[in-house]
Amino acid sequence: MDATEHEKIIIIGGGPAGLTAALYAARAELQPLVFTGMTLYGQVSQTDLIENYPGFPEGITGMEIGEQFEKQAVRFGARVLLEPVESVDLLQSPFLVKTYTKTYEAETLILAMGSDHKKLEVPGEAEFAGKGVSYCATCDGFFYRGKDIHVVGGGDSAIEEALFLTRFANSVTIIHRRDALRASPLLERRARGNPKIRFLWDTVVEEIKGQEKVQSLSLRNVKTARQFEVSTDGVFISIGHVPNNALIADQVELDDNGYVRVDWLMRTSVPGVFAAGEIADPYYRQIITSAAMGAAAALQADCYLNEQNP
Ligand code: NAP
């Protein structure tokens, strides 16, 4: 293993929060080092068309906006490495950040690891992952051309996924555990107006079944307790997210749902460690709010460095 490298600021995460933090830190001449993990641009890369990021009235794809974020940060001196962080040690100062190949010291750290898809945790889900169970319509939708598929969830993500899947599928049935959607009225209107979309209300998935790949779902109506089975070619699970806190779970304060607690200056419970984006945001989870948190975290990290080295 190479000798330890010293950095003023390390940013863990290469989604909108991490890359915006990198832009601001780079413009403050801190030469930030960003570790993106293996999913370049984070969840945004799995989003088809983004229609609610200001400045793009015609919309922009997730990959394109990720590339633009990176390009802009790199232009001012950020270094972006497609490399997962293996561990961090926040008890030492400077903080230690280890990847598989190197150990780094960082005077300040921004946690921007985002969140991941929540699992249904029913029998068959893990077994058929990639064989008819998916968490990403833009990644896998293409494989369901002409098929009859199901989407689980009633939030904005589930409805967006369902709408996207209608480009390929013959039919898309949304399974929701209540009789009212959580999704915005605009998305609901689009879904209700789409002839390929049907709804199964008050219904939960109890098991995902198949042989080589998914063939059917065992369902239960939560109001009548009726159990029944539907055949399906695939199921897209879109029931929310869990924060990617594994690296730091026992080192910074988390809320009851595992999100990193930050104050309005993006400070975590460890001085010098800031957090931004979906790892610290169970409420908004928008590209623009993540980016804004990233900007604030970098500005505060710069203040922190100035206070430490007056
Ligand atoms: P969400 O709003 O938390 O919705 C999750 C959905 O999954 C809810 O309908 C929930 O049911 C259901 N659910 C949760 N756990 C379940 C389980 N174990 N079994 C069955 N169903 C379950 O998550 P999201 O849709 O990913 O959205 C997250 C945030 O991102 C939201 O603030 C959303 O507005 C935002 N977002 C915005 C856009 C956009 O503006 N274009 C797009 C995507 C996401 P209940 O309704 O019964 O709780």
pLDDT tens digits for range 97-107: 999 999 999 99
Here the tokens at position 274 are: 């800031």
Q: Is 140 noted as a catalytic residue in this protein?
A: yes
d(CA 16, CA 21): 8
Q: Is 303 noted as a catalytic residue in this protein?
A: no
> pLDDT digits over 92-147, tens only?
999 999 999 999 999 999 999 999 999 999 999 999 998 999 998 987 899 999 99
Q: What distances in angstroms separate CA 159 from CA 33, 197, 235, 282, one per listed residue?
A: 36, 10, 14, 19
d(CA 33, CA 22): 8
* CA 158 / ligand 1 centre spacing (Å): 7
User: Is the CA virtual torsion 221, 224, 225, 229 positive or negative?
Assistant: negative
- Residues 112 and 243: beta-carbon distance below 8 Å: no
| Catalytic, out of 48, 116, 136, 148 | 136
- Residues 279 and 257: beta-carbon distance below 8 Å: no
Residue nearest to atom 3 of ligand 1 (CA): 240
pLDDT value at position 168?
95
pLDDT value at position 285?
83
The better pLDDT of the pair 255, 139 is held by 255
Strands 79-81 and 60-61: unpaired
Report pTM: 0.81
Amino acid in position 81: L
Q: Is 136 noted as a catalytic residue in this protein?
A: yes
pLDDT (mean) for 54-58: 95
List, in sequence order, every beta strand (DSSP E) within 53-200. 60-61, 79-81, 85-89, 95-99, 103-111, 115-117, 133-134, 148-152, 171-175, 197-200
Q: Which residues line ligand 1 (CB under 6 A)?
A: 52, 120, 152-158, 160, 177-178, 182, 204, 239-241, 285
* CA 21 / ligand 1 centre spacing (Å): 26
